[in-house]
Structure 1
Amino acid sequence: MSLNRLELSGTVIKVTELRYTPAGIPVLSFDLQHLSEQVEAGMKRKVECVVPVMAMGSLAMEAQKMEEGNQVNVTGFLARRSLKSAQLVLHVQTLKKII
């Protein structure tokens, strides 16, 4: 099995309403805005990005309690948004609100 794991912290922005798949599984999507400073090739680099995130099942129910502006740590894996899309989405496996 190949490695596909991402850990990211940031600010929750643009939360969608909870929806359900045809199989009845709850799904919640939100965007995570990440700001940090990283070192690359010995030089400091400012990193700013917005990553689409998807939570399913019990994690969607937990994520539903979040509000825009909350700081969170998310771990999960990357997958395409759909079979016809090349856009990547971070699928949540753990979600922690930063207090």
Structure 2
Amino acid sequence: MSPAGETASPANRLVLVATLAQRAAIRYTPAGIPALDVVLEHDSMQVEAGQSRRVLLHLKAVAFGVDAERLANQALGSALWCAGFLASARRGTGVVFHIQDFKPI
């Protein structure tokens, strides 16, 4: 159980090492919580079906609260270790990575 009494499911957990490629201006939710929309870029080699494969991706992400404020201070191009979960985008097309924790690397 989480502190709020809700059950957290480990089935939707993403850990990604990526570069901070784009950052919007910090905004505030109607409840006054800081929110920051970013785009992360990932480039790696992965093994799939016994073969090496280069993986390149751009992923929309968002951080809220203290994490949004901390992320707003990271330089574009910074390498980050990020952890969080995936959710549908606000307009219902695509997914957004909700960053719950990150560390510069």
Q: Same fold (TM over 0.5)?
A: yes
Counterparts of 1:36 and 1:21, CA distance in 2: 34
Find the partner of 1:85 among 58, 68, 92: 92
Sequence identity of aligned pairs in percent?
A: 38
- Aligned ranges 1:19-30 → 2 under 5 Å: 19-30=27-38
Aligned pair count reads: 97
State how far apart, in whole Å, the 1-side matches of 2:103 and 2:74 are.
Answer: 10
1:55 and 2:70 are equivalent in the alignment:
no
Q: After TM superposition, give the deviation of residue 2 of structure 1 in Å.
A: 6.0
Contact 1:15/1:67, CA 8 A, preserved across alignment: no
Q: Tell me, which stretches of 5 or more residues in structure 2 are unaligned? A: 1-8
Q: Where in structure 2 are the equivalents of 1:1-99 lying within 5 Å?
A: 1=9, 3-82=11-90, 84-98=91-105
What TM-score, normalized to structure 2?
Answer: 0.88
User: CA separation in 1, counterparts of 2:31 and 2:103?
Assistant: 27
In structure 2, distance between residues paired with 1:59 and 1:68: 16
Q: Distance in 2 between matches of 1:88 and 1:7?
A: 15
Coordinate RMSD, CA, aligned: 1.1
